[in-house]
Amino acid sequence: MARVKVGILFGGVSEEHPVSVKSAREVAGSLDVGKYEPFWIGITESGSWRLCDGPDGDWADAGRPVVLSPDRGVHGLLVLDGGRYEAIRLDVVFPVLHGRHGEDGAVQGLLELSGIPYVGCDVQASALCMDKSLTYLVVGGAGIATPAVRTVGPDENPDPEEFTYPVFVKPARSGSSFGVGKVARKEELPGALEDARRFDSKVLVEEAVVGREVGCAVLGNDPDLVVGEVDRIALSHGFFKIHQESAPESGSENSVTIVPADVPVEARVLVQETAKAVYRALGCRGLSRVDLFLKDDGTVVLNEVNTLPGLTSYSRYPGMMAAAGLSLRDVVDRVVSAALEGTTR
């Protein structure tokens, strides 16, 4: 029986390029090569696409130039070989990409044009979840608590007196805590806005929710959703800054992830049910990680949704799923099989 041809996209032009490469390495070690035939497509930081042997080594220089054709007749890749093109038909694509042009609907739109089934959320859900201000509008409309937030446009300079401190300043459309700052005093606000604008012209000034940071991994499509064990981020100081460390594999300088979370059973169930409600409200499919705050009064507030969460050795999503009995190999097989069956499209 012929193996399923899987195109695996990794790298990308966002600030999360290095994380994507690490995620792809874990996928490489978890893909059943007896069942799937991988075609590795690495996207360099400058935006060049390379068909390569995998995410290890000098793939950016060793790979061959390649494009994903939007022509449904091709249904896959066009590999440049001298002055000629070689077509490779793909059965499914797994975009192991994080951040801009990976999670925001851009590559999903290209895949829709190509007619190739793909893993994860569609264009609409990807765009909604990438923009936190839109995420809050949709989720709040579904009756789920969100932080109080003020959206600041590119030419706006809000009066620092209008906020109650502390607040968080963050890019509306970025990930992995890039550009996020906690502002304790009004004098710090202009500098925090400037930092956030390095990553996005649209910035949020958000209330600092007092509560424990918890998360829930969600897998599948409504109504058949699987959730991982809830985790909790235990902070020694500051705030959680994932992927900001020089060597995140060896641990964070100010946080430890506890999974299963050390919270009461009723709180764990509430977090899992709220995560599923958020996932449904936003139209998520395939997989996503829903991050929430668990307040002292037992209520939960949405933090953010990651539609293509990190799959690295130290990432939260695979850790939560492993604690629930699903290895990354199981997760990869499920999302790829579901995309092929059309249940993630």
Active-site residues, by number, are 19, 22, 98, 243, 249, 289, 310, 314
> Distance of CA 344 to CAs 219, 287, 291, 340, Å?
11, 9, 22, 8
Rounded (10°) angle between helices 328-341 and 17-30: 90
For residue 292, give the 3-state DSSP assignment.
strand
- 324: exposed, middle or buried (Cβ count in 10 Å: 0-12, 13-18, 19+): middle
E strand or H helix at 288, and its extent? strand 286-294
- Distance from C-alpha of 10 to C-alpha of 22, rounded to nearest angstrom: 9
- Distance from C-alpha of 149 to C-alpha of 152, rounded to nearest angstrom: 10
Largest pairwise CA distance in the chain: 67
Q: Return the residue matching tokens 């959703």.
A: 225
Rounded (10°) angle between helices 132-141 and 123-130: 110
Structure-block tokens of residue 20: 């994507």
- Distance from C-alpha of 235 to C-alpha of 257, rounded to nearest angstrom: 9
E strand or H helix at 17, and its extent? helix 17-30
Is 316 in contact with 309 (CB distance < 8 Å)?
yes
Q: Return the residue matching tokens 């007749």.
A: 73
Structure-block tokens of residue 340: 């092929």
Is the Cα dihedral 326, 7, 220, 16 positive or negative?
positive
Q: Return the residue matching tokens 């042997």.
A: 53
Is 344 in contact with 118 (CB distance < 8 Å)?
yes
Is 243 in contact with 176 (CB distance < 8 Å)?
yes
